[in-house]
Amino acid sequence: GLRSKGYHYWALGHVHSREEVCREPWILFPGNIQGRHIREAGAKGCTLVAVENGVVARVEHRDLDVMRWSLCEVDVSGSATVDEIYQQVRETLQSAADAAAGRPVAARLVLRGATSAHAALHADRQHWVQEYRALASALGGAGIWLEKVSLSTSAGIGADQVILRDDALGGLLRAVNALELDASTADRLAAELSTLRHRLPAELLGGEDPFDPTDPALLKDALVDIKELLINRLLTSPRQT
């Protein structure tokens, strides 16, 4: 549609994520000049357009942000120990700091993947979260502030296989699965959690990353985490024979 208008250059600044849609002719969203939260991660700035003899000669992005948001995702599926994961986190955070070119960085650290270190990582979850925060603060340059640390790893043991087992664990997972599939049961669970919701501070319920224990999407994610936790604790415990 825009190509048929005969424009040499078309841009819309309302969209906060930079995107080059087309180069012949130039159609782009230059983005905003400063990220405000984690959903506006990456370099932010303006677009400098050079016009020569009535023709667009060059289009260049220029960074203008004074601090930068960064989503630091680490795939730990190749790591066997918490020390190896720590080294991966160090390298990822250092890369984010280097990319910011001296700017302070606000980052969200997300660990993903199936790893044999899952049990050790989650057994001392708060310890490792604090270790990662300390690591980020100690990096060279302007440093990194970790806005959030998410340990979204797994033990690599599939719930789909375990749920078919004819034992106590299989039955327990089937019961949790029923909660996930039964909308009426989920509604009752949300109603029971409404008391907890009323006791939570307003800043936890609002903001860019709110926590609402009655939110159906959050409950669904929590049930997935519960199944993962049960499998990890009951199948990888050193007391198992």
Termini Cα distance of the chain: 67
- Is pLDDT at 162 greater than 60 in this prediction? yes
Q: What is the mean pLDDT of residues 7-36?
A: 89
Lowest-confidence pick of 44-53, 83-92, 180-189, 196-205: 180-189
Please report, rounded to a whole number, the percentage of residues in the chain having pLDDT higher than 70.
92
Residue type, 20: E
pLDDT digits (tens, 9 = 90+) for 190-206: 888 888 888 888 878 77
Rounded Cα distance, 75 and 113, in Å: 6
Residue type, 52: E
Q: Where are the alpha helices (DSSP H) in 100-167?
A: 118-123, 125-138, 159-162
Q: What is the mean pLDDT of residues 67-80?
A: 95
Rounded Cα distance, 66 and 94, in Å: 18
- Is pLDDT at 159 greater than 80 in this prediction? no
Rounded Cα distance, 79 and 217, in Å: 30
pLDDT computed for residue 140 by the predictor: 67
48 pLDDT tier (thresholds 50, 70, 90): very high
With contact defined as beta carbons under 8 Å apart, do 110 and 89 qualify?
Answer: no
Tracing tokens 């070119």 back to the chain, one arrives at 101
Q: What is the pTM of this model?
A: 0.70
Rounded Cα distance, 116 and 124, in Å: 15
The tokens for 176 are 């949790």
Q: What is the mean pLDDT of residues 139-166?
A: 82
Q: What angle do CA 16, 19, 20 make, to 5 degrees?
A: 150
173 pLDDT tier (thresholds 50, 70, 90): confident
Rounded Cα distance, 82 and 65, in Å: 35
Rounded Cα distance, 98 and 91, in Å: 10
**Domain-wise residue ranges, the chain:** 3-63, 68-235
Instruction: Give the residue with greater pLDDT, 148 vs 123.
Output: 148
As a whole number of angstroms, the longest Cα–Cα distance in the chain is 80
Lowest-confidence pick of 52-61, 92-101, 196-205: 196-205
- Other Cβ atoms less than 10 A from the Cβ of 206: the count is 11
- Is pLDDT at 215 greater than 60 in this prediction? yes
